[in-house]
Amino acid sequence: MKREVWMVPNPPTPNRAIDFDPEVCNGCNRCVEICRSDVLMPNPKKKNPPIVLYTDECWYCGTCVQECPRPGAITLRHPMNQSVSVVWKRMPAGESFRLGMKNPPAPNTRPPSS
**Mean pLDDT in consecutive groups of 10 residues from the start of the chain, 114 residues:** 75 75 94 92 92 87 92 86 65 72 76 80
Nearest to 18 by CA among 33, 39, 36, 34: 39
CA distances 10 to 7, 53, 98, 107, Å, are 10, 7, 37, 47
pTM of the model: 0.62
Domain edges within the chain: 18-78
- Please say whether the structural domain 18-78 has been given the CATH code 3.30.70.20: yes
At residue 81, the pLDDT reads 66
The answer to whether residues 76 and 31 touch, using CB atoms and an 8 Å cutoff, is: no
Tell me how far apart the alpha carbons of residues 76 and 110 are, in angstroms, rounded to a whole number: 40
Q: What pLDDT, on the 0 to 100 scale, is given for residue 54?
A: 84
Task: Report the pLDDT value the prediction gives residue 6, as an integer from 0 to 100.
Answer: 73
